[in-house]
Chains A and B, each alone.
Chain A
């Protein structure tokens, strides 16, 4: 059989320095090494978020697999004009993890998992390999938020609660919680920017 050259032009050794957008293009051309590079760059954050929201390693691994397989099959659904690859992957991760947590089957085992899950899930600052300085800055920005805003965001984002559930947990009006999440995210963004972190859009 004739060997047909790839029109991609990029050699495998280029991938480690390729931009995320270029990686997605290569993934769209079914370059498995490009997917591997995207995994190397972002799977840690994807896994950490999925672990934190689902509370179990097994579910988190399923989410990671699903998110990267979706990137493989539907690479063109990522639109670089609308944000970074990282935030896109993490938004999908969050959505999927939240679906799992809210599903009936997940609810049954949740209590049990909450005990053993935290230890098992690997959300462990000691073992982070990602930029600890950034983690510090994020923590500082989060802690600089008004307490009510920070709580609302954390319950929604890390625990996968809806704003109504957050309102019930905190015993606050739903409308207030809704506004606080929005205002808090904006304040957080400004805080991150002030700390010199890039929040692109």
Chain B
């Protein structure tokens, strides 16, 4: 389809009124055409007004939804959080770019999940067997903050932050082949800084977290790189 033909479809597309093959063609095009993307967003905002006849939703329905999300933690998949995936942009550029954007947008791109505390505590406690005693002290600190670095496919790396020191439980990452290593990066201002090289089968690592607004872990060639062009396997924004 030509650009003009695709453009003609945008109104119908925004109303879900196209055939599946046309929808696929439009979506393909939207990935590379900001102007058409903006037009679809515009149509959808307009269409949202057509739905504005907002009778109240049945109250019992909320109970159903609340019941469904109270399901056991194991049933809740960890969503992939790195929205830049699949784009042409280098993620490091993306990180730097989002650092200047509104906080809300940043969190949407690199979500920090503070969820499911009990399960995370269990993982942390299991990690204690190999962790240094500082982690135990941090976990006993009522002011400690816990978060996850998260990535695609349910990857998540718990982090405990107490004061300026962070403990990263990287044992949740799969072991890499020899010759490969995980590397931890921090975003300081607009600079992406290598915080630590974690090795191919990392355990608990502690580091000084002061000054970083984002943390990300990449997979690299051992013994690590100065500058990464790989997408992070897990990332998260620091509160």
Select from chain A the residue with minimum beta-carbon distance to B145.
Answer: A7
- B113 contacts A by Cβ under 8 Å: yes
Q: Is the interface of A mostly helix, strand, loop or mixed?
A: helix
Question: A163 with B18: in contact, given A47-B55, A76-B109 (CB under 8 Å)?
Answer: yes
Question: A83 with B18: in contact, given A178-B11, A178-B12 (CB under 8 Å)?
Answer: no
CB <8 Å contact, B53 and A64? no
Question: A7 with B239: in contact, given A22-B104, A65-B65, A185-B43 (CB under 8 Å)?
Answer: yes
Q: Which of A8-58 contact B (CB under 8 A)?
A: 8-9, 19, 21-22, 24-25, 28-30, 32, 35-36, 39, 43-49, 51-52
Count of A-B residue pairs with CB < 8 Å: 250
Interface code A160-185, partner B: CB below 8 Å = 1, 0 otherwise? Answer: 11111010000000010111011111
Select from chain B the residue with minimum beta-carbon distance to A46.
Answer: B57
Select from chain A the residue with minimum beta-carbon distance to B101.
Answer: A81
Question: Size class of A's contact patch?
Answer: 35 or more
Chain A residues with CB below 8 A from B76, complex form: 73
CB <8 Å contact, A44 and B45? no
Q: Which of B131-149 contact A (CB under 8 A)?
A: 139-140, 142-147
User: In whole angstroms, what is the CA distance A81 to B108 when docked?
Assistant: 10
Chain A residues with CB below 8 A from B239, complex form: 7-9
Interface code A77-101, partner B: CB below 8 Å = 1, 0 otherwise? Answer: 1111111101110110111001000
User: Which of A2, A22, A69 has the most B CB atoms < 10 Å from its CB?
Assistant: A2
Question: Size class of B's contact patch?
Answer: 35 or more
Q: Which of the residues B46, B142, B144 comes within 8 Å of A199, measured between beta carbons?
A: B46
- B83 contacts A by Cβ under 8 Å: yes
CB <8 Å contact, B17 and A161? yes
CB <8 Å contact, B17 and A130? no
CB <8 Å contact, B61 and A32? no
- A113 contacts B by Cβ under 8 Å: no
User: In whole angstroms, what is the CA distance A159 to B143 when docked?
Assistant: 54
- B28 contacts A by Cβ under 8 Å: no
User: Which of B15, B62, B143 has the most A CB atoms < 10 Å from its CB?
Assistant: B15
12 examples of A-B residue contacts, CB within 8 angstroms: A7-B147, A7-B239, A30-B116, A44-B55, A82-B41, A86-B48, A90-B48, A91-B47, A156-B12, A183-B11, A199-B42, A201-B45
Binding site for A on B (CB under 8 A): 8-12, 14-19, 37-38, 41-58, 61-62, 64-66, 68-69, 76-77, 79, 81, 83, 102-105, 107-109, 111-118, 121, 139-140, 142-147, 239
Binding site for B on A (CB under 8 A): 1-9, 19, 21-22, 24-25, 28-30, 32, 35-36, 39, 43-49, 51-52, 61, 64-65, 68-69, 72-84, 86-88, 90-91, 93-95, 98, 122-125, 127-131, 134-135, 138, 141-142, 153, 156-158, 160-164, 166, 175, 177-179, 181-186, 188-189, 192, 197, 199-201
